[in-house]
Amino acid sequence: MKRNRMFALVLTAAMAATLACSEKSKLIGTWKEPSADPGPYQNVAAIALASSEQTRRIAEDEFARRLPKNTKGVASYTILSKDDEADVDRVVARLREEGIDAAAVMRLVEEKNSVEYDPGSYWRPYQTFHSYYGGVWASYQDPGYLTTQVAVRVETAFYSVTADDATLVWTGYSESLNPKNAQVVIDDVARLVVSELTRLRIVR
């Protein structure tokens, strides 16, 4: 079942550009299997199944590139054929043939748009008539405005390929706020996840 989960993941290129806002990315949740082989893993395949072949290649290359120097990163598109990709057993077999001992799989979980109201610089609690009237009057001089917020969440699951059932070792969720494009999300996900895997000595 876990092997089936591993290749049901989809990363799309539909990352929306937004109004000028600061870019923020962080890990919002992680989990590590206590009984899993702690590693470190030395040959890691980056897997990002996507409707866009270009997005897939960029994501896999970026993740593989960011792995620490003692870990060999392999983009799955360089070793898997189209026929391989359709059969999870063939994928696992092919990874093992290539000496891969772990696979990092990425998927887009959510791209959520929300509209937030900024009341402007004059807003404050109206505890008295004077503060209420003064605040309301001032708001007409400095009216509030609406801003669009976009939160892009990506799940990365790290599996031990050498284990009998390609066992889950670690999974994490990242969130990027108001990214300019898909490349920003890809770069941030690779940076955050590899940093955490290195900290846990899963790779090094």
DSSP string, 100-128: --EEEEEEEEEEEEEEEEE--TT-----S
Tell me the pLDDT tens digit for each residue of 33-75: 998 888 899 999 999 978 789 999 999 999 999 999 999 999 9
Q: What is the CATH number of the domain that holds 132?
A: 3.40.50
Q: Show the tokens assigned to 123.
A: 């807003």
94 belongs to a structural domain? yes
Q: 114 - beta bridge partners?
A: 149
**204 falls within a domain:** no
Can you give the pLDDT at residue 188? 96
pTM: predicted TM-score of the whole model, two decimal places: 0.74
Q: In what side-by-side order are the strands of the sheet with 145-160?
A: 24-32, 167-177, 145-160, 102-118, 43-47, 72-75
What's the number of domains the chain is made of? Answer: 1
- pLDDT of the residue at 202: 97
For residue 157, tell me if it sits in a domain.
Answer: yes
Domain membership flag for residue 93: yes
55 domain-assigned? yes
What average pLDDT does range 130-159 have in this prediction? 74
